[in-house]
Amino acid sequence: MSKNKISKNWLSERKRDFYFNQSKIQGYRSRAAYKLIEMNDKFKFIKKDTCLLDLGSCPGGWSQVAAKLITKGEILATDIKNMEKLNKVTFIRGDMNDKEFCEKIYKYFNKKVDVIISDMAANTTGNKDLDVYRTGELCLNSMDLSKKILKRDGVFLTKVFMGSVFEEVHEKAKKYFNKVIKYKPLASKSSSKEIYFFCKGLLNI
């Protein structure tokens, strides 16, 4: 298929996309916002006093959802790209593959946090297997950070792509957390290989 035809198809698919249209109406920066809304409705883990870390926050849909729910807590958002300012959200730019950046997050809080959400997806290279693997690596890194800075009864919610690294992420999640639930929100396109792990309660390891 020609490039022109692909982008025309993409545009007409976008116009028909319910969540994309809703995000424009409701002022969310991304359709991804509806994934977090649905997962929070199901698992009820974001409270008004939650201290939350949003990894891979750009353009900011998940942070917007968190900022609506959290009135007395704290929100730190991070991304390798810059994020436009959001009320009630502190943003730090950095790469989650960089150990020094993870240390910076750790020092920023200087206390344990209640919730870590990660919607990170490695920038695409054109090689789908490599992209899946690199997103899996980000997921493993954020799980290590969670082990360090999450409260014992805290929640870690992460995106992962089905593929080579999926089982490794799943195994590590089961090793680290008491409860691990796989969930595919309605707002996640059925054609997408993404799935989310809702993890709760750090195990003593």
Q: Which two tokens stand for residue 35?
A: 């994934």
When asked if residue 61 is in the footprint of ligand SAM (CB under 6 A), the reply is yes
**Judging by DSSP bridges, how do beta strands 194-202 and 150-161 pair with one another?**
antiparallel
Geometric angle at alpha carbon 198, from 122 and 83, rounded to 5°: 40
Q: Which residues contact 182 (CB under 8 A, 6 or more apart)?
A: 170, 195, 196, 197
Q: Per CB under 6 A, which region of 10-18, 95-103, 124-132, 168-176 contacts ligand SAM?
A: 95-103
Residue (136 or 154) nearer to ligand SAM, CB: 136
Rounded least distance, CB 72 to ligand SAM, Å: 22
When asked if residue 173 is in the footprint of ligand SAM (CB under 6 A), the reply is no
Residue (91 or 177) nearer to ligand SAM, CB: 91
When asked if residue 30 is in the footprint of ligand SAM (CB under 6 A), the reply is yes
Residue (33 or 169) nearer to ligand SAM, CB: 33
Which residue among 159, 175, 184, 189 is the active-site one?
A: 159
Establish whether 200 is a catalytic residue: no
Rounded least distance, CB 34 to ligand SAM, Å: 9
When asked if residue 56 is in the footprint of ligand SAM (CB under 6 A), the reply is yes
- The tally of CA atoms less than 13 A away on the side-chain side of residue 125 is 10
Q: Per CB under 6 A, which region of 40-48, 56-64, 143-151, 197-205 contacts ligand SAM?
A: 56-64
Single residue of 80, 92, 140, 195 touching ligand SAM by CB under 6 A: 80
**Binding site residues, ligand SAM, CB under 6 A:** 29-30, 32-33, 56-62, 79-81, 95-97, 119-123, 138
Q: Which residues are catalytic?
A: 159
